[in-house]
Structure 1
Amino acid sequence: MKKLYILFILAGAFLSACSDFLEKAPITSPESGGYLASEEHLTSYVNFLYTGLPTLETYGMGVFGEEKNSDNILAQNYERRLNGELQESNGGSKEWEKGYKGLRDANYCLHNYAVPEMNETDKILSLKGEVYFFRAYWHFYLLTRFGSIPIMDDLWDEHATAQGLQVPATDRGKVAKFILEDLDTAKKLLYPRSKYKGLRVSQEAALILAMRVALYEGSWEKYHAGTDFAAATNASTEFFQTVITLGDELFTKGLKLNKKENDPFNAKDGGEAFAHLFNQYDLSDISEAVFWKKYSISGGLTHGLSALLSQGTVDNSGPAGLSQSLVDNYLYDTGLPIDPADDKFKDFNRTFEGRDLRLIQTVMHSDCRFKADSDSKPMKVEIRTDENKDEVVPPYLLAGDNQRSITGYHIRLGLDPLFNKDKKGGETALPIIRYAEALLAYAEAAAELGNGTCEASILEKTLQPLRERAGVTYVAPTEIDPNYPVFSDQYTLTPILQEIRRERRAELALQGFRLDDLMRWRAGKLIQNQRGKGAYLGKEGVLYRAFSTDQADELDKITLTADKWMDPLAEWLPAGYQFNTDRDYLLPIPLNEINLNEQLHQNPGWRK
């Protein structure tokens, strides 16, 4: 067995799923005859599988900082993929290694599973279901990054030879169907959410992940049809219908949005109920948090997000800020879209007046505190005078290092209302899978099946409750918003699809969805030759005048557009992001994998 492991390691990163794990002593040895044959061993191993899922990092932003890979966050340390800077030699190595490590770990468990059928309790079967969930999760991780991939449906250790490694990639559509089959198996074995209050994956989590997979592949196959990125067969209609079928099953499970009326933390309005999904310590009693991760000082697991947010950080690797386009995405509370060209939005404070409450909870604005210390002053954007100078606290446009906002917009979502200088670590929970995502997926799939339209009743049970929770009057989408961004020259959106995409961006901001959405929608036009902008900083505006006169020289060094909006990436991206629409929708398969496995072929556009 040891010789086999050595061969496997030497085989290279194609099977890198084993690399880290094999350096650790196993729980017990397969040769002992009792390996993964008991509930204790199985529980221990499956708990280990959870460590690869999205997290909040000890020293970083974790999930909340990911969206500098999209148009939601502008970062001085910008995403190289968006600028077409990745190289074939190493552009996808980290992701390939991570994905196949996750698959290897899951398959190792399934391959060595040795619980006799007579001893398979409901708990053991649910644990087995969790392993199928993780195998599906990692195949989907790879699908979104590389498209067609070799399916790892068994433990490749058993044939780790040059000949055994000749595994062809499976067409992306078939990969998606394999993932859905694994999730169906998982669903049938898993406990419902109520068993562990969302702290472990569940039937409902498997259903929502399956909806995510089917929606992703359906829209990819629709919008990339006829390109080098297309699946062998366009089965988009079948995948969209799968979303509807899964959603109809999910709707019988009794999940609810967290609203003012049922919020366990006594929210004063729907916006605060939404915020409580991200700034509380225990989400057990919020069924919308279908799957979430708990942090606690007493439990020995904390994160660095609370400290970073309390300092104004958006990207822990350098100055950054939320984009103006994200701010412009949110509706008025009347249900109508804004006109970004309206002069009133040059006033930082008026930008937040009468808007979707999710904007209020996602972006820092006047009267919000960064932290709970009694001497901590809330942000206050006001024309500075001798009388109020001690109270005015503008965004950190002139701060040093990572605390500096390059757009004027800091993150409020996830800000711990109890965090102070004496806390030893962050304890706010991380929602990983939410019921809200399922509502959005259902609405989008229904509209795609209806060629951009769908029954009013579907929107009334999906979009309407999300908007009403956010304090937005629901208005049935009937007219095109002329100010809504253009995603592509290859297609136009109906009013309903516009509003579904708007709603998705508002509801899922800073939760790691935006890049995948842009890729599956073939939305290169939103990226290519664009670089985003920040808040208005004209000298007559309140944001500029919130700083003292002796800071004017530093303020005047900030690059602005011709009409005085902050242009933070002009120096680094003078022509905007150089996203290559003939290549960058997928990452390159690592060259060492292609050299090892002669049946692999490089993704489109990467071979010069």
Structure 2
Amino acid sequence: MKIQYLLYMAAALSFTSCNDAFLDRSPQSLNDETFWKSVSDLKTFANAFYNTLPGGVTNLGDEDSDNQIPFVPNSFLWGQYTVPTEGSDDGRWTKASWQNIRQLNYFMTHYKRVNASEEEMNPYVAEIRFFRALEYFEKIQTFGDVPWLESELTIDSEELYGNKMPRNEVAKKIVQDLEFAVEWLPEKGKEENNRLNKDIARHVMARVCLNEGTYYKYHKELGYDADVVGLLQKAADATDALIASSHYEIYKTGHPETDYYNLFVMEDKSSLKEAILYIDYATALREHNACHWLRNAKSGWSKDFADCFLYTDGKPASATSKAHVRNKTMAEEAQDRDPRFKQLILTGDAPYTMTVDGGMTFITKDEDFVRADCPSGYWVRKYFTPDPSQDIEAKGTIDGIAYRYAETLLVNAEAKAELGTITQEDLDKTINQLRKRVGMPDLKLAIGFVDSDWPNWGYDLSPLLQEIRRERRVELAGEGFRFADLKRWKAGKLLENSQTYMGKYVKGEDGQFHQTVIYENYASPEKARKWDDKMYLYPIPTGELQRNPNLLPQNPGW
């Protein structure tokens, strides 16, 4: 499926106004007397929301987690975030952040003015409800309980001052929207060019259900235990359907040392069967900066992330039969590791720059990996290419992947493992497809080893789930999943590990290896990073609470 640039459609439906009050006005520039006349009007309205889909070229999406380290400390994770007085203070609870929901609900209130059958209208209603589900999923991940709004609002609407709905009830509404989308969107291959289909809705529903099912399981203080099994089963069922469809497969060409890397840097992804939804980029139409900016991003992987890779025998450092040196040169660290190590982390084997005539430069001195543009020393290689045609500021045209089949497989394996129903056949259809791409040994139900370095989650976890979580961490690294994963697993304490904000070891003038310190001000034990459970949610701005006491109480701890 090819989603091209649709911002011109959004421009045709300008819903902005100059009043900054929260959800206070109906769309101003759409003429209700002339617009709602045909099914094509519904299609045109829906077009405006296609630019809210993921861009699909995210590579530094884990800077708010234990995977990546931004040059400037993340204020939220370092306990320096203060409760905003107004939504505009940080942009998370602003008119703009709720505007899409207002516009989507405006459609839901008006679309029946069109004189057409359900069969004609509902595919576009399904698109609108899909986009509303995306908006609300982001809301509950950020704030937990939020008001559920599903109708047109005016300045006199009582709903503007309504109560928050419990998170699990909002999640049920999200699932209902996505189930409607699955019912009414066309089958893959039957959709109009550039539009949604059932499979995309199934994938997003599986993502939502896994997130919420595991969040409720591990955040027992919420008291939502009764919802866990049903949500996890929906995640398993939706991904089972995608797997059984045979529409998708993991990209591999028999080159385990390069296939994972090449998946992301191939320019044309229109025929990529690993993409449930690909995003088309093209010169002068839609371009990005994902390839170029990694060279000066002032960011990199953490030492903790580099250490999490298995060895080529399928075992971690504490159990491997391979020689391993984790705290010395890059070449020694990368030796005999899961091939994704070198495909995610720049080593001396891969070019750092390339000229038009094919000349290449490499980082040849180990100490040169650590520099201002990558203070951790572990350069992000996902979506990075030195190809001079892509290595131009904001002129990248490598296509993106908004929703990737690899995530589908990971959701399936984790949901079934959490349910206790997973079989070896399930692992072979899911995790082991990812491992085959890179030539790693299969994952077995009986793990066969104990890793003394398994994370301490704060609760008992089976060896199988430990390894499924490791696989997810590596496969989806940098794509923006990790902090949400830590939150749903109630694993914020892992961010207290100093290795999550420290870099690689480099040989000093004394001949000894010393670890790179990124944040000098936080290098001493008394200034180490501390996790506070209130950070599982963001606070609601105090100004909103004052205007609407029904939003009280404030989120816990804030």
TM-score by length of 1: 0.80
Structure 2 equivalent of residue 361 of structure 1 = 343
User: Does residue 198 of structure 2 align to residue 246 of structure 1?
Assistant: no
Structure 2 CA distance for aligned equivalents of residues 427 and 258 of structure 1: 22
Secondary structure of 1:86's match? coil
Q: Is the 8 A contact 1:371 1:417 kept in 2?
A: yes
Give 2:332's aligned residue: 350
Provide, for residues 525-568 of structure 1, a one-character-per-residue CA deviation record: whole Å limited to 9, x for no partner: 20136353211112379xx9xxxxxxxxxxxxxxxxx9612121
Residues 415-461 of structure 1: CA deviation (Å, up to 9, x unaligned): 246334678700112211111111111111111112xx732222121
Instruction: Answer yes or no: is the 8 Å Cα contact 2:300–2:375 preserved in 1.
Output: yes
* Match status 1:588 vs 2:539: yes
Counterpart-to-counterpart distance in 2, 1:207 and 1:55: 19
| Residues in 2 aligned to 1:437 and 1:422: alpha-carbon distance in whole angstroms | 30
- 1:533 is aligned to 502
Provide the residue aligned with 1:458 in structure 2. 426
* Uncovered stretches (5+) of structure 1, i.e. residues with no partner: 57-61, 261-266, 384-393, 545-561
- Determine which of 220, 227, 230 is the counterpart of 1:235: 227
- Which of 128, 140, 143 aligns to 2:140? It is 143
Equivalent pair of 2:354/2:361 in contact (CA under 8 Å): no
| CA shift in 2, pair 1:286/1:214, >3 Å | same
Quick one: structure 1 residues 371 and 90, their matched pair in 2 at CA, closer, same or farther if it must change by over 3 Å? farther
- 2:374 alignment partner in structure 1: 405
Please, which of 515, 531, 534 is the counterpart of residue 565 of structure 1? 515
Aligned ranges 1:434-513 → 2 under 5 Å: 434-450=404-420, 454-476=422-444, 477-479=446-448, 481-489=450-458, 491-513=459-481
Amino acid at match of 1:284: S
Q: Retained in 2: the 8 A contact 1:280–1:416?
A: no
Distance 1:361 1:398, change over 3 A: closer
Q: Which residue of 2 aligns with 1:391?
A: none
Find out whether 1:333 has 2:312 as its counterpart: yes
Do the aligned partners of 2:15 and 2:103 also contact (CA within 8 Å) in 1? no
Give distance in 1, aligned partners of 2:401 and 2:167.
28
| CA positional deviation for 1:200 | 3.6
Alpha carbons of 1:429 and 1:422: their partners in 2 closer, same or farther (altered >3 Å)? closer
**2:516 match: secondary structure:** coil
Matched residues in 2 for 1:83 and 1:215: separation? 28
Q: Which digits, 9 at most, give the CA deviation of each residue in 1:219-278, with x for residues without a partner?
A: 11111103xxx1555421221122122222222322332333xxxxxx451453333332
Matched, 1:189 2:184: yes
Aligned to 1:179: 174
Report SS of the residue matched to 2:59.
helix
- Between the aligned partners of 2:243 and 2:54, the Cα distance in structure 1 is 26
Secondary structure of 1:82's counterpart equals coil
Q: How many percent of aligned residue pairs carry the same amino acid?
A: 27
Q: Alpha carbons of 1:482 and 1:293: their partners in 2 closer, same or farther (altered >3 Å)?
A: same
Shift in CA distance, 273/102, structure 1 to aligned 2, threshold 3 Å: farther
Deviation per CA, 1:472-502: give whole Å up to 9, x if none.
011414245434342432x022110100100
Rounded Cα–Cα distance in structure 2 between residues aligned with 1:569 and 1:196: 50
After superposition, the Cα gap between the structure-2 partners of 1:423 and 1:69, relative to the gap in structure 1 and judged at 3 Å, is closer
Count of equivalent residues: 533
Q: Which residue of 1 aligns with 2:281?
A: 295
Instruction: List per-residue Cα deviations over 1:165-218 (Å, max 9, x = no partner).
Output: 221111111111111110000111212333469954321111111111111111
Q: TM-score, normalised by structure 2?
A: 0.87
Residue of structure 2 equivalent to 1:386: none
Alpha-carbon distance in structure 2 between the residues aligned to 1:412 and 1:184: 37
Amino acid at match of 1:536: Y
Residue type matched to 1:596 in 2? R
Counterpart for residue 361 of structure 2: 378
User: What SS class does the counterpart of residue 176 from structure 2 fall into?
Assistant: helix
Distance 1:180 1:591, change over 3 A: same
Equivalent residues of 1:68, 1:78 under 8 A apart: no
> Which among 528, 533, 549 is matched to residue 576 of structure 1?
528
1:29 aligns with 31
Q: Partner residue of 1:152?
A: 149
Please name the residue that 2:11 is paired with: none
Q: Matched residue of 1:593: which SS?
A: helix
Residues 382 and 63 of structure 1: CA distance in aligned 2, closer, same or farther (over 3 Å): closer
Query: In the TM superposition, what is the alpha-carbon distance from 1:91 to its structure 2 partner?
Result: 9.1
| Deviation per residue, 1:142-180 (Å, 9 max, x gap) | 0111111111222223xx327442211111111111111
Q: How does 1:269-288 map to 2 (within 5 A)?
A: 269-270=255-256, 272-288=258-274
- Residue number in structure 1 paired with 2:52: 52
Where structure 2 has 5 or more consecutive residues not aligned to the other structure, the ranges are 1-13
| Equivalent-residue separation in structure 1 for 2:326 and 2:158 (angstroms) | 67
C-alpha distance in 1 between matches for 2:450 and 2:361:
35
Counterparts of 2:384 and 2:299, CA distance in 1: 17
SS of the equivalent of 2:416 reads helix
